[in-house]
């Protein structure tokens, strides 16, 4: 779970545009992909502070690089925005993670996306937070 800031520009189906920054709340569940340390991810992002609340769900893969306490990661996801307009498309991201303990890490990353449907949305986000893990699913 974490938070950050979302930068977006959206052209809605009627031609109306909306752009600006929003506070971002992120919750994410991840599931191990074999023993490589990579993960399947499924999560929700909520953008607050604009004319409307932006809600999106996303799922995909997160690949980690490095075996030390500092790791880098790449994400490839499919994003589905459900409010204020329904749009879907790819989201890619990159970040770093610092392992405090084997089951707790701090992360900082960024993501970019382009989605379409009831309009077109182009956005980028900076997020940071804490990842808590369990190994019972391995």
Q: Residue 53 belongs to a domain with what CATH number?
A: 2.40.160.20
Instruction: Assess if residue 109 is contained within a domain.
Output: yes
| pLDDT at residue 127 greater than cutoff 90 | yes
Instruction: Assess if residue 6 is contained within a domain.
Output: yes
Instruction: Assess if residue 51 is contained within a domain.
Output: yes
Query: What is the pTM (predicted TM-score) of this model?
Result: 0.89
Instruction: Assess if residue 138 is contained within a domain.
Output: no
DSSP 76-132: EEEEEEEESS-EEEEEEEEEEEEEEETTEEEEEEEEEEEEEESEEEEEEEEEEEEEE
SS3 12: strand
Instruction: Assess if residue 68 is contained within a domain.
Output: yes
Rounded mean pLDDT of the chain? Answer: 92
30: part of which helix (H) or strand (E)?
A: strand 17-32
Q: What is the pLDDT of residues 44-93, one digit of tens each?
A: 999 998 788 999 999 999 999 987 899 999 999 999 999 988 999 999 99
Domain count of the chain? 1
Domain residues for the domain of 119 are 2-132
Confidence category of residue 135, pLDDT binned at 50, 70, 90: confident
134 vs 112, more confident: 112
Instruction: Assess if residue 18 is contained within a domain.
Output: yes
Q: Measured between alpha carbons, how far is 57 from 81 in angstroms, rounded to an integer? A: 6
């Amino acid at each position: 779970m974490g938070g950050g800031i979302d930068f977006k520009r959206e052209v809605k189906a009627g031609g109306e545009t909306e752009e600006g920054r929003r506070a971002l709340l992120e919750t994410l569940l991840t599931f191990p992909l074999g023993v490589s340390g990579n993960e399947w991810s499924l999560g929700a992002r909520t953008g607050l502070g604009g004319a409307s609340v932006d809600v999106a769900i996303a799922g995909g893969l997160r690949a980690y690089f490095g075996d030390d306490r500092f790791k880098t990661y790449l994400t490839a996801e499919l994003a589905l925005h459900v409010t204020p307009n329904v749009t879907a498309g790819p989201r890619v991201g990159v970040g770093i993670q610092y392992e405090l303990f084997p089951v707790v890490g701090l992360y900082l990353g960024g993501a970019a996306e382009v989605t379409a449907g009831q309009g077109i949305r182009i956005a980028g986000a900076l997020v940071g937070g804490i990842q808590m893990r369990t190994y019972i699913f391995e």
